[in-house]
Every structure is written in C-alpha cells, then in structure tokens.
Amino acid sequence: MTINILHSIDTKESGGAEKVFLQLACHLDSNRFNHFIIAPGGGWVENQLRKHHLSPIPVNPHGSFNFGYLKQIIHTIRQNKIDIIQSHLFGSNVYCSIAGILTRTPVISTFHGAVDFDRSSERLVKAKFFCINHGSAKLVFVSDDLIKQAEKRSPLKQAKIHKIFNGIDLEIYKPQKNIYIRQELGLDEEDILVGTVGNVRSPKGYQFLLQAAAQLKNTTPNFKFVIAGDTNDNIYSELLSLRAQLNLEKQVFFLGFRDDVSRFLNGLDIFLLSSISEGFSLATIESMACGIPVIATRSGGPEEIITHGIDGILIDINSPEQIADTLLQFKNDPSLQKRLIDKAMQMVRSRFSLESMIMSYESLYQSVLDVQSQKYL
C-alpha cells in the first residue's frame, strides 16, 4: 500500500534542517511513499524541490499565530488523504501537531537545533511544546544534546522521544581535491586555507574565528579563512566592522551562499566549526567525508560526531586562543592530520550515511502507522 506523506517546513533558505527536509522528500522509497509538500515559496528550498520534479504547495507561515497557514495544512491533509506528516523545525512542528490533532493524522516532529525554542519566552515555549507533545506521535531529535536542551525548556513525553542522526550522500561528499577557491581569491600555493560552511548567524560564533585569525596574522600570515554562507542577517555588518577593525581583509573572506558545498569543502586544507550552539552539524560530517581534517567546538552536536584526538579535534566554545593553537598544531604536525582524516572517513561511512538515515525514518513511519491502524480497528 502506498503511504501518502506530507512534508512541512517553515523556512525557505539553505541550512542543515532544510537539507534533511529535502533528503526525505527526495530519497524515501518511491514505491512506498507518495509525497506532498508544504513550504514557503520563492527560495532555495523550492528551487531544489523543483529540480527533483517536486511541486511544493507555497505557504506564508509567518505571524504570531497564522490561521491561514494552519488552514492550508488541514486542507492539504484532507484533500490528499495524508497518512503521516513529517514536519521540521519548531514552528512547523507546532502547526502540524495542531493539524494532526484536528485531523487524527500522526505527526513526526523533527528538531534540528535549539535556536528556535531559545528565541521564545519561557511561557510561549511551554505552550508550543504542549501542542507538540500532544499532537505528535514521535519527537525526533538529531542528537542527545538537543534532547537535553529541549527538556530544559519543557517536559517531554519520554515514550515519544526518538533520536535519528542526520546522514549525507557519500556519492557526493567524497575526496575530490581542487584549487578553485585559491584561484578565485588569488591565494598563494603555500597559503593554508581554513574554511567553514554555515549561514552568517549569531550561533555560528564567527567573531571567534576572526579573533583567532588576528592572533595568527603576525606570526603565521599564510593562514587564510573562508566563510561560505548566506549573509542576510544584521550580524554580517558587525562582522565586517570587526574584520576591518582587526585589519583582516586579506586574511578572512566572506563568500556568501554557495550551492556547491562538496566542491567548496574539497578546496580547503582544514575545516573549522566555531559555533557556540549546534544541534548536529551536517557540515562537520560532510567535511570528514571529503577527507578534510576537522576542528570543531564543543557546541552540542559535534561531541556526538567526533572522538577527540581520534577522528577530529574538539575545542571549547568562545575560545579564539584554542582555535589558533589547534591550527598551529595542525600546521606543525601533518601526520596528525592524516591520522584524523583516515579515521574520520571510516567513521562517517559507518555511522552517518544517507541510506542509514532514510532507513531509520522509514522504520519509524511504519511503526507509527502500525500503532495508528490498531488504534482505529
């Protein structure tokens, strides 16, 4: 029997959650699942869906409480006889959970990071979690740390909690070294290219990357830093001001959004995650799969990916000193980099493949539908 599944997300630009949303919409078993999609129109998400010949139902999810958005979800569920709803991110999880209650449709709510519920007041967060707790059949988190962060904000129904690590397509993310970033920026052969991927937002901690670059500038000027990510946030102008203040225009480059992440990563010598908060960090495992040595902060998700000193290096958040010291360690010990790369590539293949993630979600959907069918016998 074909399962009608509704995928929902309330953002339209590129990010880790949006990538997982697309992976599920595009890679679930086509013989078992018939896809329906609700997402904001006019952005990266819609463009990617259309590349895969999927037509989303465009919505405007914004507002303190958007009855039109809720009405559209309910209409889509009833019109298309939806069997199960897969929602992503806090806002979409709330609306889909309410729609699930009203239509008696099971909802899988996936949480990708603590940023969403950290932005809301305590009272509002508890109200939203109340809706999700009661309207969702399962609450999926991408790391144990994210479960702990959510439980600090509101009690969760333990029987509903489920962890599924994000996965990546290992046919796309693999070693394919190139020099196109160096050519684009006019860098020298001996420059050490340190890069990161992530939209320019406060949780990414890019100010600490800049401060580390300033520490290294006088002693090791051949360290160059590149940041790939959307810059449509007020913090971008603050970071540009800090870069100018530290006189780092020739050391640190903001490249804006890049759609060629695998190619970008394969142009790096070192991947650096400077975040102060991460639900998981797809970019970290993407870098590992590409054979790039990784330095990442203990910001939540990375601690569940990296075994310190074995397949990557973990450092404290808010510490430009540790960033600078670890980069120098990498420069002075090429054998360390090779050991980390070899172990990291093995680890990613065994734990974080796209196939493993898809199988976990498919198994979860089936178990929820089995319970649902018994409930209404």
DSSP string computed for 100-114: HHHHT--EEEEE--S
Q: By mean pLDDT, which of 217-221, 246-250, 296-300, 308-312 is the weakest?
A: 217-221
Q: CA 315, CA 351: separation in Å to the nearest integer?
A: 22
* pLDDT for residue 121: 67
- N-terminal to C-terminal alpha carbon distance within the chain: 17
pLDDT over threshold 90, residue 80: yes
* pLDDT for residue 224: 98
* pLDDT for residue 64: 75
pLDDT over threshold 60, residue 357: yes
Confidence of residue 125 (pLDDT cuts 50, 70, 90): confident
Q: CA 9, CA 7: separation in Å to the nearest integer?
A: 7
Instruction: Indicate the pTM of the whole model.
Output: 0.94
* pLDDT for residue 117: 74
Q: How far is CA 141 from CA 44, 61, 71, 117, 126, in A?
A: 24, 22, 27, 13, 18
Q: CA 166, CA 171: separation in Å to the nearest integer?
A: 16
Concatenating the DSSP letter of every residue in 41-101 gives SSSHHHHHHHHTT---EEE---SSS-HHHHHHHHHHHHHTT-SEEEEESHHHHHHHHHHHH
Q: What is the CA radius of gyration of the chain?
A: 21
CATH 3.40.50.2000 residue ranges for the chain? 3-166+354-375, 180-351
Mean pLDDT computed over 103-129: 85
**What is the average pLDDT value for the chain, to the nearest integer?**
95
Query: For 3-166+354-375, which CATH superfamily applies?
Result: Glycogen Phosphorylase B; (3.40.50.2000)
* pLDDT for residue 120: 62
Confidence of residue 88 (pLDDT cuts 50, 70, 90): very high
* pLDDT for residue 16: 92
Confidence of residue 141 (pLDDT cuts 50, 70, 90): very high
Mean pLDDT computed over 249-268: 96
Q: Does domain 180-351 have CATH number 3.40.50.2000?
A: yes
CA 49, distance to chain mean position in Å, is: 17
Q: CA 10, CA 93: separation in Å to the nearest integer?
A: 9
Question: b/e map of 14-49 (b: 16 or more CB within 10 Å)?
Answer: bbbbbbbbbbbbbbbeeeebebbbbbbeeebbbebb
- Which two structure tokens, joined as six digits, stand for 113? 């990071």
Q: CA 197, CA 272: separation in Å to the nearest integer?
A: 9
pLDDT over threshold 70, residue 173: yes
Q: CA 166, CA 141: separation in Å to the nearest integer?
A: 10
* pLDDT for residue 376: 59
* pLDDT for residue 116: 72
Q: How far is CA 295 from CA 132, 299, 314, in A?
A: 35, 12, 6
Mean pLDDT computed over 255-271: 96
Q: CA 14, CA 264: separation in Å to the nearest integer?
A: 15
Mean pLDDT computed over 319-345: 97
